[in-house]
Amino acid sequence: MLQATPLTEGWILRHEGGALPAVVPGCVHTDLLAAEVIPDPFLGRNESEVAWVGRREWTYERDLAPVNGHEQTDLVLDGLDTVAEVLLDGQLLGRTRNMHRSYRFDVTGMSGRLAVRFVSAYAEAEAVRGKLGERPAAYAEPYQYLRKMACSFGWDWGPTLVTAGIWRPVRLEQWSTARIARVRPLVTVEQGAGVVELAVEVERARVEAPLSVEASVGGVRARAAIDGTTGTVRLEVPDARLWWPRGYGEQPLYEVELTLLHEGRPLDVWRRRVGFRTVELDRSADEHGTGFTFVLNGERLFARGVNWIPDDVFPSRITRERYRERLGQAADAGVDLVRIWGGGIYESEDFYDVCDELGLLVWQDFPFACAAYPEEQPLRGEVEAEARENVVRLMPHPSLVLWNGNNENLWGFRDWGWEVRLAGDSWGEGYYLGVLPRVVAELDPTRPYTAGSPWSGSWEHHPNDPAHGTHHSWEVWNRLDYAGYRDDVPRFVAEFGWQAPPAYATLARALPGEELAADSPGVLHHQKADDGNGKLRRGLERHFPFPEGDFDRWHYLTQVNQARAVAAGIEHWRSHWPVCAGTVVWQLNDCWPVTSWAAVDGDGREKPLYHELRRLYADRLLTVQEREGGLVLAAVNQAGDPWAGVLRLRRMSVEGVLIGEGEVGFAAERRAVARVDVPRELEPLGPKEFLVVDADGLRALHFPCPDRDIPYPRPEFDVSVAPGSVTVAARTLVRDLLLQADRLDPGARADRGLVTLLPGERVTIGVRGWETPDADAARSALYCLEPSR
């Protein structure tokens, strides 16, 4: 039987200054940090102080004792970051140049000193650039010249911390006769039966030994012979329970076990969990353009998505527990789709396992982002090899529903001046329209592939045409007011977002000793977007007087504006289902403490946007929309049952006076939107009035003017506390009340974000992690909109 021995202990990291203990899996930065050779690059401006690390060469070493008892011994390295030589007792085993692949070397009968020597990623990238020529990119760093996590070279939300190291597990595998080299599971549903077809490849130590495989799933067993090095076994599970996305049904998972046998004796075992479901991507043309709608088990979905970046710039630190926490936050916010963005990595099995369990659909980018990528060697062979490995590795997961060729590169070629600069040089089109769809069609025909995001489906349309395929909406954040989201109805919004700083406690931890200000040195260093603070300011000034010199007010208002902006987009686009079939917010998470578009900051704290997503992505949503001819109330029903009832409408003054009221019936079919005209006499007029709509515990508000023009009364409210809660009772209109629980205690969390109270209303906010409730302290951590100054 194959025996695996992890190689986690006894490693040292050698560098020109000496040696220090190393942790494997890990990376150079984390080892240097543990040894106190470098300061924490996440704190202050230390990122700049450790830039030298990415320019050096590093060697990991440990002893490898002789092993016996099997015919073959392999050294297996699941991930090396990135360009390295692997040597055993001075003998070269092989060279690597791809972070996204695993490696296997025959070390039968060998022992001695194992060394993995890493050259600088900069040195390799610059050498490839010198050989293949300059290619344009969104950033100056040379990330497109090697197969490495692009965002380790920095991004508009991430630090430049160019890593090296053994970032995934290492082990010895000892085996005799034969081993399982690869299993490619095709999982389908045919006439109510769940079908698993396992294409098996084996590696032999004995050519003539007769081999067979035995497989089981859901109580069904089957056997097949291995012909040479390949074989196929098919299993059918009658009346298999379907796997559904969260909110649509349950997520039953079936364990598949396949055993390689020689004369009845087990040699190796492969185990995975699968789920039975069908997935289609409806890209058919209609009167609105070209659609992009996910269809799971025959059910058409409005995808409620978030974009995912690596949760740590040092991905070896991300544990299964951390994946579960972060993805659990996504699920709790109503998210049903997570897009793994192309400037990161193929995540570990733990990520996809958690998504399988939670019912989170996964859209997987191949790792290409915001650059022209050369298609010549040595890159071309690496691209195909990594695609083949990772497509097969991830195939068992029912959560995986889409392969996407790249992030923004087709758009960049057309709009960012690349075509002229390239002058005919390769730039990646051959990957996205050639290599990658061929690999997916050959290996994983059960899942759809799209060439890129954004992509209109062909060069007949602009790559980012909102009427065709996927659309990235960045003009609004970069240049316009967030009301610009309402100017069109894309078929699928794969990226859009608005920035805000992280939670106060996150900033305070990341910038120790600094007097916080919107433009203080540390705050500016932890703002990586081009003119990011300028865009934050201009976005605020369209709605609020800018709070000059008042950091606390700036911090609160920018977070309000982020939540308002994302709400403007999602409410508008959801109200246009089924023309618009999904929104994927940029972004769920951060990889360090930074001002960014994230809903959950780099310390894992939820911003107000996170809590707003819980409202926006709920099965049922009320929203007031401005349409030609007047106001329309949209009752969005993504639940599986019809929704009917009575809407209570109130036209009110900001002083709390009821001007008019009425009731209107509505009926929304399952997975549908009901639209009801707001009676003219109830439409608010001018800055002193607003509309309130209530139904079934849900509420929609409509203020017809920017906040800077609204004469809000000075907010008056009473505060009471109890263990685990803060209650606020309003005596006036209290708009966008927010309890910043982390100001009470860095470990405290509130269970809700922004809330607007009418006079006489109250709200109880759950708080965990606050051990000494105090009403005065709670009041000091409460923020809301105030009269314009």
Query: At a CB cut-off of 8 Å and minimum separation 6, what does 178 contact?
Result: 202, 203, 204, 205, 206, 209, 211, 226, 260, 262, 267, 268
Residues of the chain with CATH 2.60.40.10: 177-274, 621-709
Locate all alpha helices (DSSP H) within 312-371, ordered by sequence.
320-332, 349-358
Would you say domain 3-172 falls under CATH 3.40.640.10?
Answer: no
Contact call for residues 214 and 259 (beta carbons, < 8 A): yes
Q: Tally Cβ neighbours within 10 Å of residue 2.
A: 19
Asked about 495 being catalytic, the answer comes back as no
CA pair distance 725, 186, nearest whole angstrom: 50
3-state secondary structure of 513: coil
Tokens read off for 362:
């996964």
Tokens read off for 506:
């996150």
Give me the pLDDT at residue 16, please.
Answer: 83
One-letter amino acid of 414: R
CA pair distance 24, 60, nearest whole angstrom: 9
Tokens read off for 12:
């040292």
CA pair distance 686, 18, nearest whole angstrom: 72
3-state secondary structure of 218: coil
Tokens read off for 528:
């990586």
Q: Which CATH architecture has domain 177-274?
A: Sandwich (2.60)
Give me the pLDDT at residue 213, please.
Answer: 97
CA pair distance 570, 756, nearest whole angstrom: 19
Q: Which element (helix H / strand E) includes 565?
A: helix 551-574
Topology of the domain comprising 621-709 = Immunoglobulin-like (2.60.40)
One-letter amino acid of 462: H
Residues of the chain with CATH 3.20.20.80: 281-507+573-619
| Ranges of the chain whose pLDDT falls below 70 | 789
Q: How far is CA 43 from the centre of its chain?
A: 24
CA pair distance 318, 330, nearest whole angstrom: 16
Per the residue annotation, which of 47, 141, 408, 689 is the catalytic one? 408
Locate all alpha helices (DSSP H) within 102-199, ordered by sequence.
121-132
Backbone angles phi, psi at 78, to 5 degrees: -75, -20
One-letter amino acid of 780: S
Backbone angles phi, psi at 289, to 5 degrees: 135, -130
Q: What is the pLDDT of residues 579-629, one digit of tens each?
A: 999 999 999 999 999 999 999 999 999 999 999 999 999 999 999 999 888
Give me the pLDDT at residue 69, please.
Answer: 87
CA pair distance 643, 636, nearest whole angstrom: 9
Pairing of strands 3-6, 170-175: antiparallel
Query: At a CB cut-off of 8 Å and minimum separation 6, what does 387 contact?
Result: 366, 435, 436, 439, 440
Burial class of 264 by CB neighbour count within 10 A (0 to 12, 13 to 18, 19+): exposed
Q: What is the pLDDT of residues 183-195, one digit of tens each?
A: 999 999 999 899 9
Topology of the domain comprising 281-507+573-619 = TIM Barrel (3.20.20)
Give me the pLDDT at residue 789, please.
Answer: 60
Contact call for residues 82 and 148 (beta carbons, < 8 A): yes
DSSP code of residue 115: E
Half-sphere exposure of 100 (CA within 13 A, CB side): 29
Alpha-carbon separation of residue 532 from 412, 478, 540 (angstroms): 21, 9, 12
DSSP code of residue 545: -
Partners of 88 in beta bridges: 91, 114
DSSP string, 695-756: ETTEEEEE-SS-GGGS-PPPP-EEEEEETTEEEEEESS-EEEEEE-GGGT-TT-EES---EE
Pairing of strands 165-166, 80-81: antiparallel
Contact call for residues 14 and 31 (beta carbons, < 8 A): no
CA pair distance 728, 720, nearest whole angstrom: 7
Q: Tell me the pTM.
A: 0.97
